[in-house]
Structure 1
Amino acid sequence: MRRYGPAVILLLCGAAILRIALFSNLYLRYVQPALHPYLITSGALLSFLGLLRAAQVTLDRRRRNEPGGGHSHDEEQGRAHAHGSRAAWLLAVPALLLLLSPPPALGSYSADREEAQRTAQGVGTFPALPHGNPVDLTLGAFTSRAIYDSGRSLKGRTIRMTGFVTRGKGDTWYLTRLFVTCCAADATAYKTEIRGAQAPAPDTWVSVTGVWHPKGSLGSAQAWPPVLDADSVKRVKEPQDPYEKR
């Protein structure tokens, strides 16, 4: 059975990747959509290599069982790789977890770990917002305009945003969304303090409609995080792709 260890590990890893990328959209919890074809390719390749390795081991065993087949060299080689294969079985643990119970998307814990530090990106004017209210904005777009827009394009406009709930000190709570450049490992948080509404439970996905509440000087640390005076807070289903795009 030990000789089949590498084949089993390759198959498990390949199957786990295909499970989240080919047979579902769970891969969006961990990486950007642009990486989808690469995940499918790597999953298929790992599965193929696992099958190829299993076929090779089976063929070798049949040859050894034939009259006059060699034994000593293969047995010594098998013993030499025994300890290495035991350690390699540890790779099967994350693959099994991904197959049986894929981890959820990053949530409030990851957002809380993100330090609320923003370097000045240069205050300036932003393009005009679309006509009509409410205006649907991402957390990233709202944050940039609230902190850096010298034209104050948010003033007097009703804004609607979607994100999940994170808690602060006391009764303070935030509408939060995570942005990933490549994968979940490099996630950073956008968040907006919500005032005038009771906080739902942490990690609850909500759509918040309200008006911008200016604070601090443009580009300063006091302007972070921006504030929204809420008119309504509605619970919504978690988006298929939980991460925000720029």
Structure 2
Amino acid sequence: MRRYGGPFLLLLIGAAVLRVSLFGDLYLRYVQEGLRPYLIASGAALVLLALTTAALRPALTHTHSHTHAHGGSRLAWLLTLPALALLLFPPPALGSYSAEREAARRAAQGVGTFPALPDGDPVTLTVAEYGSRAVYDSGRSLKGRTVRLTGFVTRDDDGTWYVTRLVVSCCAADATTAKAEIRNATAPPTDTWVTVTGTWHPKGTLGSPTAWPPVLDARTVTKIPEPTNPYEKP
């Protein structure tokens, strides 16, 4: 069995990649939706490589010494632990722990006029869109409008709470944070997913650090299940 440690490890990793990408939506916890075909292809390639290597293994062992093969197999078996963990216990999406350690993201466009919001209230915005308009829109497009935001709950030590979303450009490793302070409503438990409707509360000087994070005066706060894709696109 030891001689098959390497192929077995490849098979585990390939199966784990296929599990999260081909047989469900777990891959959205790690990468953007557009990368799914590449994950599926990578997982399939690893499985194929594992099967091919296993089939050729008896012939290959004649080219290695007993000591080298034995040491390599032990290393391969040690590496099966993280692969098994990914296959059997995929980690949850990033949450408040990650958000609290990410500095407030500043919009790159600076102060300026934003396009008009769609007609009808409440208007659904991403948390990042709301933050950009609240902090940088010289046209004050949020004024007088009711907006709807969806995210998970984070808190400061003083009890201030936020609806928060992690913004992912490519994969979870590059996630940044968008959040809005919620006022006039009791905070649900940290990491609870909620949809909040309310109105913009002007704060600080437009385009300055005093305007961050944006504030929303809540009218309703509704608990919801975690979305299939927990991240926002920039």
Residue matched to 2:34: 34
| TM-score for both structures, normalised by structure 2 | 0.95
Letter matched to residue 7 of structure 1? P
| CA deviation map 1:103-141 (0-9, x unaligned) | 000000000000136376320000000111111100011
Residue matched to 1:54: 54
**Which has more radius of gyration?**
1
Residue matched to 1:181: 169
Q: Are 2:13 and 1:5 equivalent residues in the alignment?
A: no
Letter matched to residue 6 of structure 2? P
| Structure 2 counterpart of 1:131, from 101, 119, 128 | 119
Letter matched to residue 37 of structure 1? P
Q: Take 1:143 and 1:75, find their aligned partners in 2: how far apart are those partners? A: 62
Q: Indicate if the aligned counterparts of 1:117 and 1:221 stay in contact, CA closer than 8 A.
A: no
Residue matched to 1:193: 181
Q: Are 2:99 and 1:111 equivalent residues in the alignment?
A: yes
| TM-score for both structures, normalised by structure 1 | 0.91
Q: Are 2:220 and 1:232 equivalent residues in the alignment?
A: yes
| Secondary structure of residue in 1 paired with 2:198 | strand
Structure 1 residues 48 and 117, CA gap change in structure 2 (3 angstroms): closer
Count of equivalent residues: 234
Letter matched to residue 185 of structure 2? A
Structure 1 residues 41 and 129, CA gap change in structure 2 (3 angstroms): same
Letter matched to residue 164 of structure 1? F
Per-residue deviation at 1:2? 1.8
Q: Are 2:192 and 1:204 equivalent residues in the alignment?
A: yes
Q: Take 2:223 and 2:26, find their aligned partners in 1: how far apart are those partners? A: 22
Per-residue deviation at 1:80? 1.7
Q: Take 2:64 and 2:193, find their aligned partners in 1: how far apart are those partners? A: 58
Letter matched to residue 83 of structure 1? G
Letter matched to residue 152 of structure 1? R
Residue matched to 1:67: none
Letter matched to residue 145 of structure 1? R
Structure 1 residues 204 and 16, CA gap change in structure 2 (3 angstroms): same
| Structure 2 counterpart of 1:221, from 184, 189, 209 | 209
Q: Indicate if the aligned counterparts of 2:105 and 2:176 stay in contact, CA closer than 8 A.
A: no
* Runs of 4+ with deviation above 3 angstroms: none
Q: Take 2:224 and 2:23, find their aligned partners in 1: how far apart are those partners? A: 25
Q: Take 1:29 and 1:76, find their aligned partners in 2: how far apart are those partners? A: 41
Q: What is the RMSD of the two structures over their aligned residues, measured on CA atoms?
A: 1.7
Residue matched to 1:82: 70
Q: Take 1:167 and 1:90, find their aligned partners in 2: how far apart are those partners? A: 39
Gaps of 5+ in 1: 62-72
Per-residue deviation at 1:75? 8.2
Residue matched to 2:142: 154
Q: Indicate if the aligned counterparts of 1:10 and 1:50 stay in contact, CA closer than 8 A.
A: yes
Q: Indicate if the aligned counterparts of 1:120 and 1:219 stay in contact, CA closer than 8 A.
A: no
Q: Take 1:40 and 1:120, find their aligned partners in 2: how far apart are those partners? A: 34
Letter matched to residue 41 of structure 1? A
Q: Take 2:209 and 2:162, find their aligned partners in 1: how far apart are those partners? A: 17
Residue matched to 1:95: 83
Residue matched to 1:23: 23
Residue matched to 2:153: 165
Q: Indicate if the aligned counterparts of 2:144 and 2:199 stay in contact, CA closer than 8 A.
A: yes
Q: Indicate if the aligned counterparts of 1:20 and 1:26 stay in contact, CA closer than 8 A.
A: yes
| Secondary structure of residue in 1 paired with 2:157 | coil
| Secondary structure of residue in 1 paired with 2:67 | helix
| CA deviation map 1:154-185 (0-9, x unaligned) | 01100101000001132200000001111111
Letter matched to residue 34 of structure 1? G
